[in-house]
Structure formats: structure tokens, C-alpha cells
Amino acid sequence: MVSAPFDQQRKQADRRKLWTVSELAQSFGLTSQGLRFYEQRGLISPRRKDGARVYDYRDRARLVMIQKFRRLGFSLDEIADYLSHYRSGANNAQQHRDGIAKIDRRLADLARLRAELDDTIAELSRMRAEENQRLEQAIAQEAKND
């Protein structure tokens, strides 16, 4: 079992760790250009060390959230808006209200998509059944003609 003081030291060490563009990109399965794109959009803000971009624990945490939100279908603008409220370690009520509103909108969008997909699947299933029936009739007609 990890002792509490050791665990606290590890967390503090993690907060001091810096990653290069290539290290951070690789750990997230991104390209260096992908990280720079997020930087240009203002989603992450690396600092400079000896002229090179370096990323800290805050950038890493933001990338975790960015990738999660992207996977769930949120736009970069929605992610940027959410991150603008984000304060590490702070319990920001407005951030949570905005998050809930965004989640509700995404759920509503997905429910509409599900309904559209269900309708499309049902229509295609009907079309396939009709085509199967026509195929059987065509095969029967060909057999009669032989």
C-alpha cells in the first residue's frame, strides 16, 4: 500500500513534470501539429523553456478533457467555452451549470440522431423485404419461362 506522504510527493512531482511537444503528443496519440492546433485554438497554453514549448500538468489535464469531449461529439468551440470556466482545484458552480447545459444539448442531439437512424433502419428494412419479395417473384417467373 502506498503511504499518504509518498503519494502526496508523487502528486507534487507530477505537477512539476514538463513534457515536450513530441512526448505529450505521443502520450495522447496525437501529432505535434494536433497539439499546435489546440494551442492555436487557445485550448492549451504551453510555456517556453530554453526556447522550446513545454507542457505542464495543467495542459495534460486539459488534453484529457479535450479528448474526452471530442470523443463524445462536442465541438471545439463548446470545449473552449467549457475550459474557459475550468479552474483546477476550484469548485466553480457556473462551470457545472454550463457543463450540464452542454451535456443536455448533446443528449438531445443524440436522441434526435437515434430517432433518425431508427427511422432509416426501419425504412431500409421495409425496402429490403420488398426487394426480396420481388426477387422471389422474378425467380418464380424465370422458372416458369424455362
What percent of the chain lies above the pLDDT cut of 90?
A: 51
Q: Which residue has the cell 462536442?
A: 74
What pLDDT does residue 87 have?
58
How many other CB atoms are there within 10 angstroms of residue 53's CB atom?
20
Taking residues 68-78, report their average pLDDT.
91
What pLDDT does residue 6 have?
45
What pLDDT does residue 138 have?
95
Taking residues 74-79, report their average pLDDT.
90
93-140 pLDDT, tens digit per residue, is 877 888 899 899 999 999 999 999 999 999 999 999 999 999 999 999
